[in-house]
Structure 1
Amino acid sequence: MKILVTGATGLIGASLCARLEAEGHEVRRVLRRSRPAGSSKSSDVILDMTEAVRPEDWSSPLSGVDAVVNCAGVLQDNAREKVQEVHAIAASALFRACERAGIKTVIHFSAIGVDRDQPSAFSASKLAGDKALMALDVGWVILRPSVVLGRGVFGASALLRGLAALPLLLAMPNTGRLQVVQLDDIVSTVLFFLQPASPTRLTLELAGPEALTMTELISRYRQWFGWKKATVFTVPGWAARGLYRLGDLAGWLGWRPPIRSNAQKEITRGAVGDPQPWIATTGIHPASLASALAADPATVQERWFAGLYFIKPAIFVVLPFFWIMTGIISLTTGWRNGVELLIGTAVAPHAEAAVVAGAIADAAVGALIAFRPTSRPGLWGAIAISLSYAIAGTILRPDLWNEPLGPLMKILPILALHFVALAILDER
């Protein structure tokens, strides 16, 4: 079959595309932006779903397609993503285009519990997309998974591993139980419904066999990593609210933290459901978290990821702060010291201009690093500036290498930290 998959780089979409291709299907991935040359395919479609809001926008991507799997989803509005546009408006346009094109099979990923309660714009927009599909004359299947876990991790699944690496077992207040489900079972379910004789026009909740608290989930991962039990510490309500607000701010800077206001509202409800209709329809018996972890032992790579999970946001707070404050200090309280450093050197006649230029460059790279779409060029810019300071300092003030506080020596760990940031920048 020729299958169009939206959200093709996400947790579910990427795994699904790989499995479909392995089984001989032709996959047309819908991507918001082009991928690096090594990971791009000639059949890829570059289409931002926040702009594909008319059925006509989908006409070309759907040409010759036999089935559609909509895996697109965003947690919360930010500078680049809009839940209503992606989950409801663009999804509805896609579904109507499928009806016009005569596509018989449309599999749509929603979220568990959205038909019972909509505590946030995330679940409300997901339900709107569900209803738009149900109203059409196509062979639709709506899958509503709980929190999805697998070897690859992103969002909530990555957060669980990061929390497991902390010295204390942090428990957020007012969190419901989760019937986590394994990624392999999700992908197998899609393959079942792509078979010609499979049933259509039904919704299924994809929930695991046991309902666990967040504390229990984190403890299972600590055990999987081979780490000893940790003392449980419940985060005070005021601190939890502050963390969610900080997550919102990071979202508007283009990052995708799983701890945001919509997550707070959704996690209070929990993610539980009845897996029996899923089992009865497909014959798939969802694996428990314990059995999935036991079958796939943790490696050093998993331990590295977990240990770096909360170090990464710390790095991307510290680096912008460092560069922006360096620029501000150079133009204010540190102005005289900066100019005096250049007195007696070859650039002394232009000392003030040099300090101003350096301050502006410092603040600029700090701002670039803080904003996710420009963080990579910002990091490379910071590396270039650091090297230029080292070279210029060696030429103009070589004595600074021998200073007790090491103003030039400190450039070396600064450079190393920027290369670490580049290495862990990608989220998917």
Structure 2
Amino acid sequence: MKILILGATGFIGSVIAARLCKDGHMVTGLARNPDRVRVKHLSIHWIKADLAEMTHPSNWDAVLSGYQIVINCAGALQDGLSDDLAAIQEKAMLALYAAAAQSAIEFVVQISARTKGAGQDQPFLATKRHADKALVASGLNHIILRPALVLGRNAHGGTALLRALAALPYLLPLIHAQSPVETVSVDDVASIVSAAVAGELQSGTDIDLAASEILTLRELVILHRSWLGLPPARVVPMPAGLAKPVTWAADIAGRLGWRSPLRSTAMAVMSEGVLSRRDAQYLRGECLATAVETLGANPSGVQDLWFARLYLLKPLMIGGLALFWMLSGIIPMLAPMAASRHFLPFMSGGMAMALTLTTCFLDIALGAFVVVRPFARSALFGMLAVTLAYLVGGTLLEPSLWLDPLGPLVKVLPSMLLTLAALAVLEER
């Protein structure tokens, strides 16, 4: 069959796409940057599209032409520079259903979420709920799947945070440590989607996907620590009130385009836990894999340990570079005459002052842009280029600075290494 997958580049969508390709289907994915993902997913055909801009049925007419099945794995946790939550999860979906009803689409599989309980009024769950209701009312043949916390070989969002928390040294500080959490293997989700595509599930089915066990967040983090091969560490339960400054900072980062799993929506859901309706633990006579079984089937490697240890360091890297560059621009402006003295032997006082102010504003701009996700990569490369220019200029104009006891040029080298490290871990998928 010819299948169109929304969110095919994501944690769940990529596994579903791979499974359906293995099943022999012709799979097409939507992507904002298909040239980039095409290199990684060679067996999938790609269409360039942005769901946030596909909010009218006419936007879907050409996209849906020739396909029989649509699988929606797309989603966004909260609004931000990179995501328009209402457009992606609700408006685009309503437009899709309207267009699909007038096309040759035979079946829609919706990967949704548990939309009741704590956090049900959060935009993430509210838009999911509205889209689900619209799908049911559309008259289209469909199946809605509601996975619990999804675990797999790779990690993203909440599962990435689990690994990061598990890798903390000595102590494991946890908020909502006793919250119950159900899990499901991403491979099981893909298998169930495969069964749905094969017609093994009845149209209109609405299924919660969760393994038979319920672990607390504490137990799940300890399990991941063991999976990473790290020695036991003491779990320190933290008051729920401490979540507020964390979610506040994460929400700001989200507005700047960083998709942090610590945003207020995730914390609101975790306050109650991740629980299903407990009515679909078994499907087609098969038991869904538990967290222990899922991790056991995917032994960790050193790359998983590196990822876990670097995950929480990444925002500190970006924040540290931003602070360093902005301060390096602000401090000289407090005493511009003194800062411009290094240039006086080579140019006039006016030119020295102009050059000093220019470099200050450039430093401040780089520090500001690096915290804005769409500009972060360019800002990091800019930092490397400007640093090299400073080093070359300083070496040519005043080589004695290399021997200065305070090491003004020598100390620049570690900042370059930090910039390279930030570039190395910048990608989110």
Secondary structure of 2:5's partner? strand
Q: Distance in 2 between matches of 1:243 and 1:267?
A: 14
User: Is residue 243 of structure 2 the alignment partner of residue 243 of structure 1?
Assistant: no
Corresponding residue of 2:138:
136
Cα distance, 1:251–1:175 mapped onto 2, change above 3 Å:
farther
- Contact 1:185 1:284 (C-alpha < 8 Å) held by counterparts: no
Secondary structure of 1:234's partner? strand
Secondary structure of 1:5's partner? strand
Choose from 170, 181, 190 the match for 2:193: 190
- Contact 2:118 2:268 (C-alpha < 8 Å) held by counterparts: no
Corresponding residue of 1:382:
383
Deviation at 1:174, TM superposition (A): 7.6
Q: Which runs of 4+ in 1 moved over 6 A?
A: none
Deviation at 1:16, TM superposition (A): 1.3
Deviation at 1:419, TM superposition (A): 0.8
Amino acid at match of 1:335: P
- Contact 1:207 1:274 (C-alpha < 8 Å) held by counterparts: no
Deviation at 1:39, TM superposition (A): 3.8
Instruction: Tell me whether 173-182 or 185-194 shows the greater mean CA deviation.
Output: 173-182
**1:253-305 deviation per Cα after TM superposition (whole angstroms, max 9, x unaligned):** 1100000111121112321125553524x333111111222222211000100
Corresponding residue of 2:300:
298
- Give the TM-score of the pair, scaled to structure 2: 0.95
Corresponding residue of 1:273:
276
Secondary structure of 1:321's partner? helix
Corresponding residue of 1:228:
231
Corresponding residue of 2:216:
213
Corresponding residue of 1:2:
2
Cα distance, 1:239–1:116 mapped onto 2, change above 3 Å:
closer
Amino acid at match of 2:13: G
Amino acid at match of 2:361: I
Corresponding residue of 1:172:
175
Q: Distance in 1 between matches of 2:249 and 2:351?
A: 42
Corresponding residue of 1:201:
204
Q: Distance in 2 between matches of 1:31 and 1:347?
A: 53
Q: Distance in 2 between matches of 1:301 and 1:408?
A: 34
Corresponding residue of 1:351:
352
Q: Distance in 1 between matches of 2:18 and 2:199?
A: 21
Cα distance, 1:19–1:347 mapped onto 2, change above 3 Å:
farther
Secondary structure of 1:50's partner? helix
Corresponding residue of 2:61:
59
Instruction: Tell me whether 107-116 or 222-231 shows the greater mean CA deviation.
Output: 107-116
**1:74-102 deviation per Cα after TM superposition (whole angstroms, max 9, x unaligned):** 11112331222222211111122111113
Secondary structure of 1:69's partner? strand
Q: Where in structure 2 are the equivalents of 1:14-25 lying within 5 Å? A: 14-25=14-25
Secondary structure of 2:287's partner? coil
- Contact 2:182 2:215 (C-alpha < 8 Å) held by counterparts: yes
Corresponding residue of 1:409:
410
**1:195-224 deviation per Cα after TM superposition (whole angstroms, max 9, x unaligned):** 035321110001122111111110001111
CA RMSD of aligned residues (A): 1.9
Q: Distance in 2 between matches of 1:116 and 1:307?
A: 30
- Contact 1:205 1:275 (C-alpha < 8 Å) held by counterparts: yes
Amino acid at match of 2:373: R
Secondary structure of 2:145's partner? strand
Deviation at 1:365, TM superposition (A): 1.2
**1:99-122 deviation per Cα after TM superposition (whole angstroms, max 9, x unaligned):** 111311100011024389714111
Secondary structure of 1:61's partner? helix
Count of matched residue pairs = 426
Corresponding residue of 1:264:
267
Secondary structure of 1:160's partner? helix
- Contact 1:75 1:83 (C-alpha < 8 Å) held by counterparts: yes
Q: Distance in 1 between matches of 2:156 and 2:82?
A: 18
Corresponding residue of 2:401:
400
Deviation at 1:346, TM superposition (A): 5.1
- Contact 2:115 2:126 (C-alpha < 8 Å) held by counterparts: no
Deviation at 1:404, TM superposition (A): 1.4
- Contact 1:6 1:72 (C-alpha < 8 Å) held by counterparts: yes
Amino acid at match of 1:12: I
Choose from 86, 93, 96 the match for 2:95: 93
- Contact 2:152 2:298 (C-alpha < 8 Å) held by counterparts: no
Q: Distance in 1 between matches of 2:190 and 2:221?
A: 24
Q: Distance in 1 between matches of 2:358 and 2:423?
A: 25
Q: Distance in 2 between matches of 1:419 and 1:342?
A: 29
Deviation at 1:384, TM superposition (A): 0.1
Q: Distance in 2 between matches of 1:22 and 1:306?
A: 30
Deviation at 1:176, TM superposition (A): 2.8
Deviation at 1:235, TM superposition (A): 2.5
Secondary structure of 2:45's partner? coil
- Give the TM-score of the pair, scaled to structure 1: 0.95
Deviation at 1:252, TM superposition (A): 0.5
- Contact 1:34 1:40 (C-alpha < 8 Å) held by counterparts: no
Deviation at 1:142, TM superposition (A): 0.3
Deviation at 1:170, TM superposition (A): 1.6
Q: Distance in 2 between matches of 1:4 and 1:349?
A: 62
Cα distance, 1:38–1:347 mapped onto 2, change above 3 Å:
farther
Corresponding residue of 2:49:
47
